Copies of this chain bind each other. A is one copy, B any other.
Amino acid sequence: MDVAKRLVLGQPFRSDRLGETLLSKRIALPIFASDPLSSVAYATQEILLILTLAGVAYLELAWWVAAGVVVLLAVVVLSYRQVVQAYPSGGGSYEVVAENLGPTAGLVVAAALMVDYIMTVAVSVASGVDNIISAAPGLNPHRVAINLGVVLFLTAMNLRGVRESGRLFAIPTYAFVAGVLVMTVLGLGRTAFGHAPVAESAHYQIRPEQIGLSTAAVAFLLLRAFSSGCTALTGAEAISNGVPAFRKPKALNAARTMTAMGVLAIAMFAGVTALAMISHTKVTENTCDLIGFPGDCATDAQKTVIAQISAAVFGGHSVAFYYLMVTTALILILAANTAYNGFPLLNSILAQRRYMPRQLHTRGDRLALSNGIIMLALVAAGLLYAFHGSTTRLIQLYIVGVFTSFTLCQAGMVRHWNRELRSRRAEESRALRAEGNSAAERSRIRRARIINAFGSCFTGVVLVVVMITKFTHGAYLVVFAIPVLVLIMYGIHRHYSRVRDELAIAPDDEETLPGRVHAVVLVSGWHKATRRAVQFARATRPDALTAITVNVDDSDTRALTRDWERAGVQVPLKVVESPYREITKPVVDYIKRVRQARPRDVIAVYIPEYVVGRGWENLLHNQSSLRLKARLLFVPGVMVTSVPYQLHSSHSRTDDPVQHTPGEVRRGITGPA
Question: Which A residues are within 8 Å of any B CB, using their own CB?
Answer: 12, 14-16, 352, 357-359, 361-365, 367-368, 492, 495-496, 499-500, 502-505, 511, 513-517, 526-529, 531-532, 535-536, 539-542, 552-553, 567, 577-585, 588, 602, 604, 606, 609-612, 617, 619-621, 623-624, 627, 629, 631-634, 636, 638-648, 650, 653, 655-656, 658-659, 669
Cβ distance A66 to chain B, nearest Cβ, rounded Å? 44
> Knowing A362-B582, A640-B642 touch, does A503 contact B529 (C-beta < 8 A)?
yes
Cβ distance A593 to chain B, nearest Cβ, rounded Å? 12
Q: Which residues of B contact A617 (CB under 8 A)?
A: 495
Q: Which residues of B contact A634 (CB under 8 A)?
A: 611, 644, 646, 650, 653
Q: Which residues of B contact A604 (CB under 8 A)?
A: 536, 540, 641
Contact partner, A540, options B16, B515, B540, B611, Cβ 8 Å: B540
Question: Most chain-B Cβ atoms within 10 A of its Cβ — which of A582, A612, A669?
Answer: A582
Known contacts A358-B621, A580-B659; can you find 5 more A-B pairs with CB under 8 A? A14-B579, A503-B610, A514-B536, A634-B644, A641-B642
> Knowing A364-B581, A552-B362, A644-B633 touch, does A526 contact B505 (C-beta < 8 A)?
yes
Query: Once the chains bind, are B536 and A505 in contact (CB under 8 Å)?
Result: no
Query: Once the chains bind, are B539 and A623 in contact (CB under 8 Å)?
Result: no
Q: Considering the chains assembled together, what is the distance between the CA atoms of A445 and B78 in angstroms?
A: 104
> Knowing A505-B527, A535-B511, A609-B633 touch, does A620 contact B357 (C-beta < 8 A)?
yes
> Knowing A362-B582, A505-B528 touch, does A357 contact B619 (C-beta < 8 A)?
yes
Q: Is the interface of A mostly helix, strand, loop or mixed?
A: mixed
Cβ distance A526 to chain B, nearest Cβ, rounded Å? 7
Q: Which residues of B contact A567 (CB under 8 A)?
A: 505
Q: Which residues of B contact A624 (CB under 8 A)?
A: 358-359, 362, 365
Q: Considering the chains assembled together, what is the distance between the CA atoms of A604 and B358 in angstroms?
A: 26
Query: Once the chains bind, are B585 and A639 in contact (CB under 8 Å)?
Result: no
Q: Which residue of B lies closest to A646 (CB)?
A: B636
Q: Which residue of B lies closest to A502 (CB)?
A: B647
Contact partner, A583, options B12, B362, B500, B529, Cβ 8 Å: B362
Contact partner, A495, options B362, B620, B659, Cβ 8 Å: B620
Q: Which residues of B contact A541 (CB under 8 A)?
A: 540-541
Query: Once the chains bind, are A352 and B553 in contact (CB under 8 Å)?
Result: yes
Q: Considering the chains assembled together, what is the distance between the CA atoms of A364 and B642 in angstroms?
A: 24
Query: Once the chains bind, are B367 and A623 in contact (CB under 8 Å)?
Result: yes
Q: Considering the chains assembled together, what is the distance between the CA atoms of A515 and B538 in angstroms?
A: 11
Cβ distance A346 to chain B, nearest Cβ, rounded Å? 16
Q: Considering the chains assembled together, what is the distance between the CA atoms of A330 and B567 in angstroms?
A: 57
Q: Which residues of B contact A16 (CB under 8 A)?
A: 577, 579
Question: Most chain-B Cβ atoms within 10 A of its Cβ — which of A529, A620, A656?
Answer: A620
- What 8 pairs across the A-B complex have the smallest Cβ distances? A364-B582, A503-B527, A364-B580, A14-B579, A359-B623, A633-B644, A364-B581, A641-B641
Q: Which residues of B contact A638 (CB under 8 A)?
A: 644
Show 5 A/B contacts (Cβ-Cβ < 8 Å), sorted by A.
A362-B581, A362-B582, A495-B620, A504-B527, A585-B658
Q: Considering the chains assembled together, what is the distance between the CA atoms of A526 and B617 in angstroms?
A: 38
Query: Once the chains bind, are B641 and A499 in contact (CB under 8 Å)?
Result: no
Query: Once the chains bind, are B633 and A642 in contact (CB under 8 Å)?
Result: yes
Query: Once the chains bind, are A364 and B643 in contact (CB under 8 Å)?
Result: no
Query: Once the chains bind, are A528 and B540 in contact (CB under 8 Å)?
Result: no
> Knowing A358-B623, A579-B16, A656-B585 touch, does A536 contact B647 (C-beta < 8 A)?
no
Query: Once the chains bind, are A528 and B503 in contact (CB under 8 Å)?
Result: yes
Q: Considering the chains assembled together, what is the distance between the CA atoms of A634 and B651 in angstroms?
A: 8
Cβ distance A2 to chain B, nearest Cβ, rounded Å? 9
Q: Which residue of B lies closest to A567 (CB)?
A: B505
Q: Considering the chains assembled together, what is the distance between the CA atoms of A658 and B589 in angstroms?
A: 13
Q: Considering the chains assembled together, what is the distance between the CA atoms of A592 and B627 in angstroms?
A: 29
Cβ distance A620 to chain B, nearest Cβ, rounded Å? 5
Q: Considering the chains assembled together, what is the distance between the CA atoms of A273 and B511 in angstroms?
A: 81
Q: Which residues of B contact A647 (CB under 8 A)?
A: 499, 502-503
Contact partner, A643, options B581, B609, B639, B646, Cβ 8 Å: B639
